[in-house]
Every structure is written in C-alpha cells, then in structure tokens.
C-alpha cells in the first residue's frame, strides 16, 4: 500500500521590535475585498504580498519572478526591512522503508538510516504565480521545486492580523517505500541581517553578530527557534511541531536548528533554519 505524501515545510514568523506604525491598505476590488485582507500584486517581474500583521501594522514580502535572482527579494514590517535576497532552502534525505516485512508502512521497528540513503538540495525551477484564498489566510505558489525523483512547488501562506508566515516546499514522488527527513531554512549569498539570536537551554538569550563566512553549525536551543535580527524587526524560523516531529519514547535536545554557511555541504550560501537528526527521526 502506498502511503500518501506529506508536504515538507517550515514556518517563519515576522515580528516588529519597534514602535507600531499606523498604515492603511487600499484593495483593488473595493466591493469584494479579500477576506484575508492579503493583497497580492504582480508587476514588473515581481510579486508583492502585503498583509496586516496587526491592527496598526503591515508586513510585506516581495518575490522575484526572475529565476536568476533570489526568490525572496525582500521581507519587511512597515518601513523596516528585515532581510533581502533570500532563498527558501531545503535538504531532502531519501531512504527506504522495509516493504518486505508484512507490516510494510506501519512497521514499528524499522531503521532506514542503517540502509542506503541519499541527500539532495531542493532546486527551484520555473517561477509563476498562483493564488488561493481560504477564509482568513491566503496562499501564494511562486516556484516549481525538485529533488531527486521528488517534484512539486514552493508556496507561502499569509494570515490576517498575524505575523505568522508559513513557508512550504510541497513535494511528492511516484516511488513507493520511500523514507524521508528534511532540513530547511532561509539562505542568502549576501546576508544582511545584523545578528543571529536564540535562547539557550538555560533560558538565556544568546546574540551573535552575523558572520557570513562562518561554517554552518547545529545548535541546542529552547523552543526550536532561531532568529535573524534586523534593524527594528526580526525574522524567527521554527517548525510546526506536529508535522515536523512526532512523539518519541524519549525527548532529547538534538540540536534542531542551524545557522551558517554551506550547511551539510549542500547549501553553499549563509543562512539559518531547522534540522532533524538522521539517526533519530525518519518518516515515510
């Protein structure tokens, strides 16, 4: 029996660290404005998404439709730019389930890391815009994506009156019996945020100036969250726990975030994101 494919995804939160600004939004269709109040405009080779993160402040993300440029041209809250020139970057590790066992997909004692597996950097492909609205949130699909025999797209979901932005790389394959884990985040050839920030396992805030040449390293942190801090606004990257992790017999801090350049020798640019430990968590 072939198990349904699950989307790969990370989540990112845009939050303002400065005073709130009073902003207004004018919708193109005044008689039937978007229920989510997310405004999506495509012009001059870019897609601009603007949405209310609160009653007094807007967030904005600009996507480039030029495949030679980073997908995310800029992220901002109000007039405060957080970062520019970003790519959503994912490493997909593909192994196999033991389908010779009678239990197949539901075998409890299966150990894919002990069998052969391959790691792929997810490649971005053709860029085009597709918009889907459902209630208080709007999803924009902006690029095709592929890794090995997996294919799909990159999409972002924005929520009314929330700084939460969900970034997904949604992939599927026709191959049966695959086991996957993935690491994901945001990378840039020329990162321009000021500091990388996290809370250590003792509850203390750690803040280090950005060093774009530093090699990528995993970190033990509280809350599985790592932050790119800009001037007046920040971007926090963290997983959606019930999709990225599942219950284990024991709970250990296995350094579930990373930051730096050339992550696992597959993401050459500098960035930050979330990760899984190969020997601890596999899914199908």
Q: Assign 106 to helix, strand or coil.
A: helix
The answer as to whether 3 is a domain residue is: no
Share above pLDDT 70 across residues of the chain, in percent, rounded to a whole number: 83
Question: Whole-angstrom Cα distance, residue 242 to residue 99?
Answer: 25
Residue of 182, 187, 184, 154 lying closest to 168 (CA atoms) = 154
Question: Whole-angstrom Cα distance, residue 262 to residue 250?
Answer: 31
The DSSP result for 114-134, as a single string, is GS--EEEEPEEEEEEEEEEEE
The answer as to whether 93 is a domain residue is: yes
Residue with the two structure tokens 């999409």:
155
Question: Whole-angstrom Cα distance, residue 263 to residue 261?
Answer: 6
Question: Whole-angstrom Cα distance, residue 44 to residue 158?
Answer: 22
Residue with the two structure tokens 């997810």:
122
What sign has the CA pseudo-torsion 217, 219, 225, 228?
negative
**Phi and psi (nearest 5°) for 166?**
-95, 125
The answer as to whether 1 is a domain residue is: no
166-178 pLDDT tens trace? 999 999 999 999 9
Band of residue 104 on the pLDDT scale cut at 50, 70, 90: confident
The answer as to whether 270 is a domain residue is: yes
The answer as to whether 69 is a domain residue is: yes
Q: What is the mean pLDDT of residues 239-253?
A: 71
The answer as to whether 280 is a domain residue is: no
- Pairwise pLDDT comparison (221 vs 15), residue with the higher score: 221
- Does position 279 have pLDDT exceeding 80, yes or no? no
160-204 pLDDT tens trace? 999 889 999 999 999 999 988 899 999 999 999 999 999 999 999
The answer as to whether 124 is a domain residue is: yes
The answer as to whether 214 is a domain residue is: yes
Residue of 59, 75, 10 lying closest to 230 (CA atoms) = 75
- Does position 43 have pLDDT exceeding 80, yes or no? yes
Model pTM?
Answer: 0.85
Q: Assign 48 to helix, strand or coil.
A: strand
Share above pLDDT 90 across residues of the chain, in percent, rounded to a whole number: 61
Bridge-based pairing of strands 150-159 and 137-147 is antiparallel
Q: What is the mean pLDDT of residues 238-250?
A: 70
- Does position 140 have pLDDT exceeding 80, yes or no? yes
247-260 pLDDT tens trace? 566 778 889 999 99
- Does position 15 have pLDDT exceeding 50, yes or no? no
14: β partners: 235
Domain limits for position 136: 8-274
How many domains are contained in the chain?
A: 1
**What are the Cα distances from residue 270, in Å, to 141, 191, 208, 215?**
24, 7, 14, 8
Residue of 162, 106, 150, 97 lying closest to 125 (CA atoms) = 150
């Amino acid at each position: 029996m072939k198990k349904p494919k699950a989307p790969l995804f990370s989540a990112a939160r845009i939050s303002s660290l400065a005073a709130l600004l009073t902003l207004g939004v004018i919708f193109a269709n005044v008689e039937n404005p978007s229920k989510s109040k997310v405004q999506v405009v495509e012009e001059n080779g870019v897609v601009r998404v603007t949405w209310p993160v609160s009653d007094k402040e807007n967030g904005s993300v600009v996507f480039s439709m030029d495949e030679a440029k980073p997908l995310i041209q800029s992220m901002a809250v109000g007039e405060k730019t957080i970062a520019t020139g970003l790519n959503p970057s994912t490493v997909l590790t593909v192994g196999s389930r033991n389908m010779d066992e009678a239990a197949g997909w539901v075998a409890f004692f299966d150990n894919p890391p002990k069998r052969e597996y391959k790691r792929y950097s997810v490649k971005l492909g053709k860029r085009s815009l597709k918009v889907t609205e459902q209630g208080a949130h709007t999803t924009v699909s902006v690029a095709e994506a592929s890794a090995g025999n997996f294919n799909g797209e990159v999409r972002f979901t924005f929520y009314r009156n929330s700084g939460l932005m969900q970034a997904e790389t949604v992939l599927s394959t026709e191959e049966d019996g695959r086991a996957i884990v993935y690491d994901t985040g945001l990378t840039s050839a020329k990162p321009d945020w000021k500091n990388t920030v996290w809370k250590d396992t003792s509850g203390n805030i750690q803040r280090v100036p950005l060093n774009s040449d530093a090699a990528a390293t995993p970190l033990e942190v509280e809350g599985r969250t790592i932050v790119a801090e800009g001037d007046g606004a920040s971007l926090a990257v963290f997983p959606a726990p019930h999709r990225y992790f599942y219950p284990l017999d024991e709970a250990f801090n296995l350094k579930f975030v990373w930051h730096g350049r050339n992550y696992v020798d597959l993401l050459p640019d500098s960035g930050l994101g979330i990760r899984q430990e190969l020997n601890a968590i596999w899914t199908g």
